[in-house]
Structure 1
């Protein structure tokens, strides 16, 4: 392991987990504590890392207008790529027809669909009534709001708030170092997370729904290789190969943990060290993306809806397809911070076109497998946004500097 770089070690552990899971079946559950340990260490880092890095990032910016500019670009980017993602998911599902001729014994009990509180209430919930409770509960959106307010407060107070700024700056550096230490355990953690999943599900569950898995996997791959690569190349001025290689460790950890928030420390580390994203941009764009960016989940919605429609023999009109696209796109923001976001989004989408909610049970057995694909795409999408927004801010800073120089010359 010492002779391998971290990406090679994680890939090696990932392949080994698949092989061992297939060979030993449910007996491989014995390695699950290794995965749980790694996941707990990652979760242990998240809250102080997000709080400290975002406070420092906002205080370093020192300009509310810049924050508004970055926030606007980030939201537009996330909504735009989600729109593309759901379209790709629908297209691939229509081409592959995953629900045609499928006969599934419904042995899995349908999970209870939970309703979202709605877009407006979600926005109101961003403001914590008790910031300390938000920190204790790990409410990422509320922590982001609290951190932004602290950072702006430090900027407005000025020199007297320097001790507070230095405290958070030191805390941020400590958390970056701890993230590096935890990442050494990533290959062991990935093995402990993936092997039990492979051992538990096996081919008996996967075979009848193999076309669904292939459709989601293919759509996710196309979204990453085409959408993100083009955006990173044209808007981010970065080689797609460099981007994909740089964010690959975070993508694999996301695949293993199925948690965008849980992968956040690794995403921030990769974006800064491998992709060269500034601290101020990564501190804002990535925590926000881990909470509201759901490109992978949007792809899953597209495939799942077409699969359910084909299974029940329903014909979807163009208007219904358009409704699915719009509902899934805006639901990606409306379900932010709610547990089981994928299930909630699917419930909302099915309801929007009057499709049977019983369809959720059909893919419940492979939801964990599909969650791996969609979470990886979500994380890669977060990183692509950070690269694009950071490049845009650098161009803006360059144009502003040129304008000032011309004004002085005039």
Structure 2
């Protein structure tokens, strides 16, 4: 009975991805058979992209502003929260630097020749002008464009914070603005769910057109990017998380982490969701000796904004597109903006249906790439989503251990085991 239930749970978790893959595979077969004639299916794919373009701006705004507006209960335990955010930022940066080093040495799209139009580079600007353009817009109406996703994210966070602040100042038990934002966020998530029902047809049609035009070249491009990504994640998991666990509790910390992390690994791979892995993570960190008041903050927050795996995927997509458009993925400015986008994408993608699509829109909009590449990088994200989610979820557990070290002191693990032995003896 439990085995049947588990199989159904796994199938349900992968159902949408399976349908998308079926649609893409059918599209690839049709494109391979029909060749150039498969261009007739392209409008059906464009309909899907246009629907997503229309919904993405209000979805991101309401989702983020609603989440921030409801976060007033996290103001307690300031030391825990401060350490948590610091560790999330540092580990995200390390993950980003790690994959940048890899894709710089082995470019994922090296040798790929697919004509996807031109790159809208825009005028040349100095570093500070690029920062200003990346983070702000000159008029309110410009923030409603999908090409201004980062300014929109910042605006949504600031607006949500102000709504929360007003509630606090007026001592409101229920803020009608926060409730309105929450309802709108749910409504647009439902809309995305409806649009995603058309995704297997839309993406299938788009890939029929792509394969009909580019054939085996496209398949080879995917194979290289995906084959590269899995070893990258495994190496990061074994080296990065081992180092983090050692920082948290020395040799004992490493042993304890790997002794209790396997259930979270299996659950995250099966469900493809950090949130669905949360109960398993809570149980695992309890066995690791992490105090409940720390794990109850770090893990739910981590399931929302701690996305090392997402950072790895996002940077792989960016490096792939740079190669596709024959642009050098090098230089401090390029790497800095790519890291910033990977972090922001992780925040946006975490709680949103079709989050991979949202992250792809951010990448394409920010750099000015041809929107027709979106199905290509969405598929890369889809094929790598399971292992990226595993990195996200298991990273939350080791982050909880590191926060415990900062809050409880270096010998927290020793004290935990001493107290456990005393309880056992008693």
TM-score by shorter chain over 0.5: yes
Structure 1 pair 20–134 and aligned structure 2 pair: CA distance change class (3 A): closer
Q: Distance in 2 between matches of 1:379 and 1:135?
A: 33
Unpaired runs of at least 5, structure 1? 248-269, 310-320, 348-359
Structure 2 Cα separation of the partners of residues 385 and 119 of structure 1: 31
Alignment partner of 1:240 out of 253, 256, 265:
265
Distance 1:225 1:333, change over 3 A: closer
Q: Does 1:196 align with 2:205?
A: yes
Aligned to 1:223: 232
- Give a deviation string over 1:27-52, Cα, whole Å, max 9, x none: 43464335644664555422101111
2:241–2:398 Cα contact (<8 Å) kept = no
CA 148–374 in structure 1, closer or farther in 2 if over 3 Å, else same = same
- 1:295 aligns with one of 289, 297, 315: 315
Tell me how far 1:226 sits from its aligned partner. 4.0
Instruction: Give distance in 2, aligned partners of 1:187 and 1:339.
Output: 15
Offset of residue 55 of structure 1:
2.7
Give me the whole-angstrom Cα distance separating, in 2, the residues matched to 1:386 and 1:57. Answer: 21
Aligned with 1:15 (options 22, 26, 38): 22
Residue by residue, what CA displacement relative to the aligned partner does 1:305-344 show, whole Å, maximum 9, x if unpaired? 9xx69xxxxxxxxxxx9x9375653241467889885698
What is the aligned partner in structure 2 of residue 271 from structure 1? Answer: 274
Aligned residue number for residue 250 of structure 2: none
2:183 alignment partner in structure 1? 174
| 1:200 Cα deviation from its structure 2 partner | 1.1
Alignment of 1:32-47 (within 5 A): 32=45, 33=47, 36-37=50-51, 40-41=54-55, 43-47=57-61
> Are residue 73 (structure 1) and residue 87 (structure 2) matched?
yes
Aligned partners of 1:285 and 1:382 also within 8 Å: no
Question: Conserved in 2, the CA contact under 8 Å of 1:13 and 1:191?
Answer: yes
Secondary structure in 1 matching 2:121: coil
Seen in structure 2, the aligned counterparts of structure 1 residues 76 and 29 have a Cα distance that, compared at 3 Å, is: same
* Counterpart residue number, 1:54: 68
Q: How far 1:5 sits from its partner (Å)?
A: 1.8
Structure 2 unmatched runs, 5+:
1-7, 32-37, 246-256, 280-297, 345-359, 416-426
- Secondary structure of the equivalent of 1:5? helix
The equivalent residue for 1:260 is none
Map 1:98-247; keep pairs closer than 5 Å.
99=111, 110-114=118-122, 117=125, 119-121=127-129, 123-124=131-132, 136-137=144-145, 139-146=148-155, 148-149=157-158, 159-163=168-172, 166-167=175-176, 170-171=179-180, 173-174=182-183, 177-178=186-187, 181-182=190-191, 184-185=193-194, 188-202=197-211, 204-208=213-217, 211-227=220-236, 238=261, 239-247=264-272
Deviations 1:105-128 (A, max 9, x none): x97654343357555445556776
Task: Give, in whole Å, the separation in 2 of the partners of 1:390 and 1:161.
Answer: 37
Cα distance change of structure 1 residues 91 and 198 upon mapping to structure 2, 3 Å threshold:
same
Number of residue equivalences: 345
Tell me if structure 2 keeps the 8 A contact 1:50–1:144.
yes
Pair 1:85-2:93 in alignment: no
Deviations 1:188-233 (A, max 9, x none): 2321331122111125514346544432232233334443576578
Residue 392 of structure 2 corresponds to residue 372 of structure 1: no
User: For residues 130 and 62 of structure 1, what CA distance do their matches in structure 2 show?
Assistant: 36
